[in-house]
Copies of this chain bind each other. A is one copy, B any other.
Amino acid sequence: MRVLGLVACFFLLISVGSADEAKPVRLMPLPANVNLSAGQGLVIQNSFSVALRGNDPHLRKAADIFLNDLRRHTGSLPLDFSVAAAPDQAQLTISVDQPSEEVQKLGEDESYTLKIDGTRADLHARTTLGAMRGLQTVLQLVEITPQGFALPALTIEDKPRFAWRGLMIDSGRHFMPLDVIRRNLDAMAAVKLNVFHWHLSENQGFRVESKKFPKLQEMGSDGLYYTQAEIRDVIAYARDRGIRVVPEFDMPGHSTAWFVGYPELASGPGPYSIERKWGIFDPAMDPTKESTYKFLDGFIGEMAALFPDQFFHIGGDEVNGKQWDANPKVQEFMHSHNLKTNADLQGYFVERVQKLVAKHGKTMEGWDEILRPNMPSSIVIQSWRGQKSLAEAAKQGYRGLLSSGYYLDLNQSTASHYVVDPMSGDAASLSDAEKDHILGGEACMWAEYVSPETIDSRIWPRMAPIAERLWSPQNVTDMNSMYDRMAHVSEWLDAYGVNHNTQYIPMLQRIAGTGDVSALKVFVDVVEPVKGYAREALAATEPTSLTPLNRVVDVARPESIKAREFAELVDAFVSGSIKPGMEAQIRSALSHWRDNDEKLQRVATQSSIVQEVAPLSQSLSSISAAGLQALDFLDRGEKAPKEWETQQLAAMQQAFQPKGQVMLMVVPSVQKLIQASAGDTPTTLSIPKAGND
């Protein structure tokens, strides 16, 4: 799908009702076109009702879901709103030209137009799918006004930039119960995502009931798997929200859990047990035995019938080849088939599997590694390697989607995800025809370090700006607008039960062992988990799938709002764009952090979990004191002595080292104050490499 090239406004001002103050539009993703109208918005009465034009059961269902969501966003009751027969009785009319496909298809029209004035709202879409997207826009526009809950007067024309906008959830490494899946589907629909990629098998667990091969779940899941009835329920739930469900069964590697029940599938001798550790492991399917393909034929056939989506993801990543190297029969096979490398053998396997997938009517999808010269052009490549690999595939005529840069498990800043564009880098120089092969992108929530309790806080709110990247015009890139709107959407998502906000205080209370979590909150508010793969590197003992995820590193948010706000303040201050009150704000924050440690240390004496990060709280106190000293120098117009600066910069380096796998995120800003006070140009402290903790 091509870049649409529409222009969006970032700071649209909407005047709702008779309010004097104009508010910025708070939609995420931003629509392709928004035109604000003068005058009154539409007040949502108790008798609010919706009329439907178009006779599609999915549309009726979508209207019911919309009304229920509208209740959640206004605190209204089940009976308040209704679907009316007659359009002239309705406040909102939804019309569609045609139903969406029974099984939702890639590339179906998702465009819609929305017009709201003081008396009514009209939503028009070519398909029911477009109406679903438009209804999410309506919901995001709801806000309290002096007249009650209301929608602003405006006209929106909107359509997505990319046809494939996904989130992958890994239920393999840690099983995620159905309520986690459902509430995340609600939140996905709210930001117009349309693909739920479900990673269903891993070394650590096989998560789907197979009736043909029941030992898969019976022996490979610790009893933690989805029944076929539950899978069908999830698919229907997603379909009702305009979301396709693409299953992934990773092969030939990442498959130890399969071998517990069916060791004959593996390339090495059994028996196998469910893997508890993290990493890349030796076991891999045996690509040389016909029995392997016979099994997969049956298995893929069963799963192809269970999952209606056109695409079937076979993983295909990260085989270390050790079992193949060690197996003489495999070596013999490679020799006799002229397969020179393990990559060649893997390619042979994937080619065979692709034929099975095609036989059962599906289109194969897989990670970068599946791309081999003999592959049919229909397959889809999901790139964890980057735009370069994506662009190469596109040049060879393969469709692809980007996941590199969208790994939510790495605890990176929202900004760092937001700047990643499937069409940038090598992809930018593709021809228009080649660009059409880039379908979109998918964020990935790998589950080594998330539990059902913490997963929402890793996905949300950072998923919302990635969804915007994939929906909104390419030139929607303003970082301040993104952060402002993300903050709003983050709270707004609370209505769907995702617990990234609401579970924060209860987790702090559990850790503190006391209801008064004020000191602990002040501290945890400014730390973040270590980034990338540092958590493994920094672990005192090797983490496993049984390790509790209940420490400060699990409670801390991937991106500290307080640290980012403080950084903005300090950046403005040291660059000379000082506003009244700014220094007072910086001083107030620093004093607060300096004085917080005493209280936190008292909590730490009662809690092994707080104790682990207590040294960082001391660091926060001492660097804050140094920051205040720096401000004193600046206030006196006196340059800080070099010796003091050198000493403090060393202290900053020290304070920026992780403890208990969390990092103190205000350190770089304090360093800037110190450098400025010594008359030096502030530099950005980079995140330290993983070292022993």
Residues of chain A having any CB pair with chain B under 8 Å: 19-21, 46, 73-80, 143-148, 174-175, 222, 224, 451, 453, 487-488, 491, 494-495, 499, 501-503, 505-507, 509-513, 515, 545-550, 554, 605-611
Contact = CB atoms under 8 A, between A and B. Distances in A.
Contact of A75 (B74, B453, B545): B453
B606 A75 contact: no
Given A75-B550, A175-B78, A546-B79, A515 B491 contact: yes
B491 A174 contact: no
A525 to B, nearest CB: 15
Given A144-B607, A502-B506, A224 B75 contact: no
The 5 closest A-B pairs by CB, nearest first: A75-B550, A144-B513, A502-B502, A494-B506, A144-B607
A283 to B, nearest CB: 20
Nearest to A550: B75
B74 A548 contact: yes
A77 B549 contact: yes
Q: How many copies does the complex hold?
A: 2
Contacts of A611: 146
Contacts of A451: 75, 77
A142 to B, nearest CB: 9
Nearest to A451: B77
B506 A495 contact: yes
B75 A144 contact: no
Nearest to A179: B179
Given A75-B554, A506-B502, A606 B19 contact: yes
B548 A605 contact: no
Contacts of A549: 75, 77
Contacts of A499: 502
A44 to B, nearest CB: 10
Given A19-B605, A605-B146, A548 B506 contact: no
A487 B515 contact: yes
Contacts of A76: 548, 550
Nearest to A44: B548
Contact of A510 (B74, B80, B175, B507): B74
B491 A75 contact: no
Which of A19, A75, A512 neighbours the largest number of chain B CB atoms within 10 Å of its CB? A75
Nearest to A603: B144
A229 to B, nearest CB: 14
Contacts of A175: 78
29 contacts: A19-B606, A46-B547, A46-B548, A74-B548, A74-B550, A75-B453, A76-B550, A77-B174, A77-B451, A77-B545, A77-B547, A77-B548, A78-B175, A78-B222, A79-B222, A143-B513, A144-B610, A145-B606, A145-B607, A145-B608, A146-B606, A146-B611, A148-B609, A491-B506, A491-B509, A494-B506, A495-B506, A502-B502, A502-B505
A383 to B, nearest CB: 31
A617 B435 CA distance: 59
Contacts of A501: 505-506
Contacts of A21: 605-606
B453 A510 contact: no
A423 B349 CA distance: 78
Given A74-B550, A144-B607, 7 more contacts: A46-B548, A75-B453, A77-B174, A79-B546, A146-B608, A491-B509, A494-B509
B491 A546 contact: no
A144 B548 contact: no
A73 B144 CA distance: 37
Q: Which of A146, A512, A554 has the most CB of B within 10 A?
A: A146
A673 B131 CA distance: 61
Nearest to A511: B144
Nearest to A510: B75
Contacts of A609: 144, 148
A79 B545 CA distance: 8
A174 to B, nearest CB: 7
Contacts of A80: 546, 548
A667 B175 CA distance: 52
A75 B607 contact: no
A21 B224 CA distance: 41
Contacts of A515: 487-488, 491
B495 A73 contact: no
A201 B502 CA distance: 34
Contacts of A77: 174, 451, 545-549
Contact of A605 (B20, B174, B495): B20
A670 B210 CA distance: 69
B75 A507 contact: yes
A607 B146 contact: yes
A488 B515 CA distance: 7
A269 B453 CA distance: 55
A407 B501 CA distance: 32
A546 B605 contact: no
Nearest to A606: B19
A549 B143 CA distance: 16
Contact of A147 (B491, B545, B608): B608
Contacts of A506: 491, 494-495, 501-502
Given A147-B608, A606-B144, A78 B502 contact: no
Contact of A224 (B78, B147, B487, B507): B78
Nearest to A548: B76
Contacts of A546: 46, 77, 79-80
Nearest to A506: B494
A179 to B, nearest CB: 9
A233 to B, nearest CB: 15
Contacts of A610: 144
